[in-house]
A and B are shown apart, each in its own frame.
Chain A
Amino acid sequence: MTDARRLPSECRVAIVGGGPAGLGAALELRRRGIGGVVVIEREGEAGGIPRHCGHPVFGWREFGRILSGPAYAGRLSAAARAAGVEIRTRCSVVDLRQEGQVAVTSPAGLDRLSAERVILATGLREAPRSARLVGGDRPWGVVTTGALQSFVYLERLRPFRRPVIVGTELVSFSAILTARKGDMRPVAMIEEGEGTTARWPSAWMPRLYGIPLRARTRLIEIRGGDRVEAVTIETDGKLGSIACDGVIFTGHFLPAAELVRSSHLRWDASSGGPVIDQFGRCSDAAYFAAGNLLRAVETAGWCHREGRRIGGFVADDLQGRLPRPGRLVELERGRAIKLLVPQRIDADLREPSAMLQLRVDRAVSGRLAVTAGGQRLWQRRLETKPERRILIPLRDLPIPREIDRLHVGFVE
C-alpha cells in the first residue's frame, strides 16, 4: 500500500509513530474535540510493535477481550480512523525543528509539516548483538525478538530451527511463542542473573516447552561459518558450548530516540528518551512524548493508556488549560536507580494522575526514598529487580517551595 498523497503543510497535532501510544494520544485528542490530528507512521500500516507479534496477549483492558497483536493493532487503527484521525503510512519524519516544524519523507517526496503541537511516540527497539559487544564470528542467524517476529509473522520465513534464546525478560517468552509458531525448537534459554527476570507465570514457560533454562550464564561468543554453529557460554566461571543454528537476543530495550538526539530537544542518557515534565512536555513546549520512547519497556496496553493521558494534556494545552512551564524541579537519580521519568516536574501544577516511573539497575531490597535538601518527603520498603515497574504517585510528594531538586534512591 503506497500512500502517494502529499502531506498537508499544516495541522494542529502531528503524532510521530502510529503504535499503541501514538494512536492512544490521537484517540484522546479526537475525543476532546481537537481536529487536524495527523499520525505519521513509517511502516505500511499503523499499529506498531503489536503488529509484529502474532500471539494473543493484547487488548484485555482496551477491548475487553484477549487479542493477537495484529488484531489488537488493527482495532486500534480502525478506532483511530473512525474517530477522524488522519493516519499517513510510509511517511518517515527525518528532522525536528523549533516550534513544531518537522521534515517528513514519503514516496511522494520530502515535505515540511508545521504543527501546533507534536507528540513523539517512536517506541523502542531491542539492543542487537553489536550493542552488547558479543564477540565471535559473524554468521547468519543472529536476530532480536523483533526481527524474529517479522520473519515469522510478517514474512513467514524461518531463519533457523534450533536457536538459543538470550535473556528472560517478558519479551523473551514472546520469543519462545514466536519460535514455536514458526516450528522452531529453542535449545536453551540463558540468563546472567540467578533466575528469570520476568515474573510468574511466564517464568515456568521454558519448562513447559522443555527448554533448559541456564541461569548465571553469560554468552561469550558466537561461532559459525555461513550459519551459526554454536555459542560459547560461561556458567559460574566455567566455559561451555551449546550447539545451535541461531541466536535470539531478547530484551535490553532502548528507546528509539534518534530524532530527539539529532534535534534541539533535551535528551536523558539514563532513560534514553527525551527529558519531559509530568505532562509529557519536552524542553521545547511544542513537543510532547509518550510511550516506550520515554523509557524501556512497558506493555502495549500501558503505552496506549499513557498515550491517551498525554493526548489529554495536549488537548488541555491547545484549549488553554495547561499553563506554560513554571517552577521546574529537576529529579536526580540516587543509589540503584537506572532511570526516572519524568526527569523534571512542574511543582506548582497538581495533576492527580501523574506518576513518577522508576527502574532499578540491579536486584535491590531496602527503603526507596524521595528527599529534598536532606528532608525525606516520601519512602517505602521495596524489594525489586531490573526491568520491573516502580511507580510513585506525584500527589503523595509534598514539594517544599524553596526546592529546585529532588533526589530519588534506595537507602540502607
Chain B
Amino acid sequence: MMAKGTVAEGLYDVAIVGGGVVGCAVARRFALEGARTILLERAADILAGPSKANSALLHTGFDAIPGSLELACVRAGYAEYLEIRERMNLPLLETGAVLVAWDEEETARLGAILAQAHANGVTDVRHMGREELLGREPCLSTRARDAILVPGEHVIDPWSAPLAYLRQAVENGAHALFSAPVEGGKFDGVAWSLATPRGAVTASLVINSAGLWGDRLDQALLGRSDFTIRPRKGQFAVFDKAAAPYLRSILLPVPTERTKGVVLARTIFGNLLVGPTAEEQTDRERPFTDGATLAKLVEHAARLIPALAGMAVTAAYAGLRPASEHKDYQIRAQLDRRWITVGGIRSTGLTGALGIARHVWSLYEGLGRYHGALTAPAWPRMPNIADHLARDFHQPGYGEIVCHCEMVTRREIEAALAGPLPAGDLGGLKRRTRAMMGRCQGFYCGARVCAIAQGRLAIPADMAGPPHD
C-alpha cells in the first residue's frame, strides 16, 4: 500500500515532527501565518500515539499549576477552541464538571482548589454543596459529601478536532507526509535536512512534537535532551450508551499530587467513560490494558453511580501520556540551531494544543522571520459524528448503513477515504467515522468495512480460500 501524503519538495520554513494533536495544531498555526509548512508522521495517519486515547475533555485550567506554561496554553487553547469550533463544525457537549469530595479529608481540600481556580482566572468555579450536587446528579451515590462546580469544563471530539487543525493547514498549503519517521538529520547552520524513508526533507526550522519520542529525537539530532519521557499509562473503560443518562456533568475526583485521578464523563459519541489510571510504564510502543484493572475501573464507576452495576462495557483502551520528570510543559527554542522542542505535554494536550501552537509561533517570531499571514484562509468544515447533533443518516442518499451500532453510512466512509487527508489505516477510518467503534465492535460491520476499504487502505485480511457457495 502506498504511504499517503504529499511528497516533500524544496525548502520548507518549518518541518513539524509528530502528528499528534500538538503537531496538528502547530501545523495549522504556521500555515495560517503564511509559513511553508510540512508535518512528518511516522505512522500511516495522525493520532497514532497518545492523542488517540485520552478523556476527550475541554479543560478550563482551573486546577493547573498557577503561573505555569501549561495554564497559559490551556487557557488560550480553551478560548481558541470555542472561537473556531462553529466555523469548523467541531462539536461541544456542554456538561460542566463537578469535583466531588467523598470523605472528610477530601472535603477539607475543596477550599484550596476553589482558591486556586479563581487565582487561575477561572472565576465561575464555585462551591455547590451536597444538596445541590445530588439535585444536579440524582444518580450519584449518596456517599458524596461536598462538591465544587466547574461550569466551563466540557466534552469534545478528540479526533475530529486535531484532524480539523491539520486539514486547515493542508487546505492552506501545508504538506503532510505519513509513514515518514525521522531517521536522522543534519543542520548546516542555515537549514535542517531530515532523513525519512520517504526522502529527505529540508526546512529552516524543526519543531519536535514527537510526543513519546520527543526526548529521543532531541538526543539523536541535538545530542542532548532537557527532559526524559516517562510514559504514564492511562486505561479507560467505555460503558454502553445506555449508561449516558446516569450522569450529566463530568465527575472529577479531588486530585492528588501525582494525578488528576479517575474521571467519569459522557463522551461526545453518547457513551460514558471511566478512566484514566496513572501507571508508570517503560514500553513506549504498546499501551496495553489488563483485565483486572479494567474490572476495578468498572467497579469504581459503579460505586460512584450505583445504577452502573452490571452495565455492559463497549470498549476498553489505554493511552500513554508523554509525561516527563517535570510537571510543566517542556517547550524550548534553540534558535541558533533552528529547533523548537515541544515536550512533556502530559495530560492537557487536547485543550492546550491551540495555545501551545500560538506560544510556539511567538518563539519562532523571535527569529525575526516574517511571513505574511493569510488574509483569507480556507476554513474546512468537519463532518459531524457527535451523537447529540444531526448525523449523516438523517439526510437521504447515504447509500447504506454500514455500522448499525454507530449508524455510520457508506457515504461517510467514502468521504473519510477521500479528500485532502484521507484515513491512512483502519484505525484512522474508525476515528473519522466511528465505524466498528460501537457496542458490537465490528460483529456486523467489520468485514463490510474491510471490503469497502480494500485497495485503499492496508487491510490485514486477504481473500478467503477457494470460491464456495
Contact = CB atoms under 8 A, between A and B. Distances in A.
B317 A42 contact: no
Contacts of B259: none
Nearest to B447: A150
A147 interface: yes
A281 B396 CA distance: 34
B242 A262 contact: yes
A227 interface: yes
A261 B407 CA distance: 17
B440 A125 contact: yes
Contacts of B291: 133-135, 220-221
Interface in A139-183: 140-141, 143-144, 146-147, 150-152, 154-160, 181-183
A151 B290 contact: no
Contact of A159 (B312, B461, B465): B461
A131 interface: yes
A109 B294 CA distance: 40
Tell me the dominant secondary structure on chain A's binding face. mixed
A125 B396 contact: no
Contacts of A258: 241-242, 405, 439
A239 interface: no
Given A131-B313, A157-B451, A221-B290, A151 B464 contact: yes
Interface centre among A54, A146, A154 (most CB of B within 10 A): A146
A54 B241 contact: no
Interface string B68-101: 0000000000000000000000000000000000
Interface stretch (B158-166, B176-184, B281-289, B354-362): B281-289
A136 B291 CA distance: 8
B442 A128 contact: yes
B468 A181 contact: yes
B419 interface: no
A128 B394 contact: no
A269 interface: yes
Interface in B432-451: 439-444, 446-448, 450-451
Interface string B113-148: 000000000000000000000000000000000000
Interface string A94-114: 100000000001011110000
Contacts of B238: 130
B2 interface: no
A382 B310 CA distance: 28
B400 A254 contact: no
Nearest to A42: B404
B366 interface: no
B443 A126 contact: yes
B393 A105 contact: yes
B257 interface: no
A137 B290 CA distance: 9
B448 A183 contact: no
Contacts of B389: none
B447 A157 contact: yes
Contacts of B441: 128-130, 144
B174 interface: no
Given A140-B460, A143-B446, A182-B464, A128 B290 contact: no
A308 interface: no
Contacts of B286: 137, 225
Contacts of A137: 286, 288
A147 B443 contact: yes
Contacts of B393: 92, 105
**Number of chain B interface residues as a range:** 35 or more
Contacts of A125: 439-440, 443-444
Given A90-B400, A147-B447, A141 B460 contact: yes
Interface in B295-309: 295, 298
Interface residues of A, number: 56
Contact of A92 (B293, B314, B404, B451): B404
B293 A155 contact: no
A160 B460 CA distance: 8
Interface string A257-269: 0100110000001
B467 A136 contact: no
A42 B402 CA distance: 10
B446 to A, nearest CB: 5
Nearest to B410: A107
A225 B285 contact: yes
B316 interface: yes
B289 A135 contact: yes
Contact of A254 (B312, B395, B461, B465): B312
A269 B309 CA distance: 11
B442 A147 contact: yes
B469 interface: yes
Contacts of A127: 312
A269 B294 contact: no
Nearest to B463: A156
B242 to A, nearest CB: 5
A141 B460 CA distance: 8
Interface in B359-404: 393-401, 404
A125 B448 CA distance: 16
Contacts of B405: 258
A138 B291 CA distance: 13
Nearest to A54: B468
Contacts of A130: 238, 313-316, 441
Interface centre among B293, B314, B454, B463 (most CB of A within 10 A): B463
Contacts of B446: 143, 147, 150-151
Contact of A157 (B241, B316, B444, B464): B464
A136 B289 CA distance: 5
A136 B461 contact: no
A2 B295 CA distance: 43
Contacts of A90: 400-401
B170 interface: no
A158 B463 contact: yes
B462 interface: yes
B31 interface: no
Contact of A152 (B313, B396, B401, B464): B464
A123 to B, nearest CB: 11
A150 B404 CA distance: 14
A134 B316 CA distance: 9
Given A54-B468, A181-B465, A261-B242, 20 more contacts: A90-B400, A107-B396, A107-B397, A107-B398, A125-B444, A133-B298, A136-B289, A144-B441, A147-B442, A150-B447, A156-B464, A157-B462, A158-B461, A159-B450, A221-B291, A225-B285, A227-B460, A254-B312, A258-B439, A262-B242
17 contacts: A2-B400, A54-B469, A92-B393, A105-B393, A107-B396, A130-B441, A133-B237, A143-B446, A150-B444, A150-B446, A151-B446, A151-B447, A154-B447, A154-B448, A157-B447, A158-B464, A221-B291
Interface of B: 237-238, 241-242, 285-286, 288-295, 298, 310, 312-317, 393-401, 404-405, 407, 426, 439-444, 446-448, 450-451, 454, 459-469
Closest 5 CB pairs of A and B: A183-B465, A150-B447, A135-B290, A128-B441, A109-B396
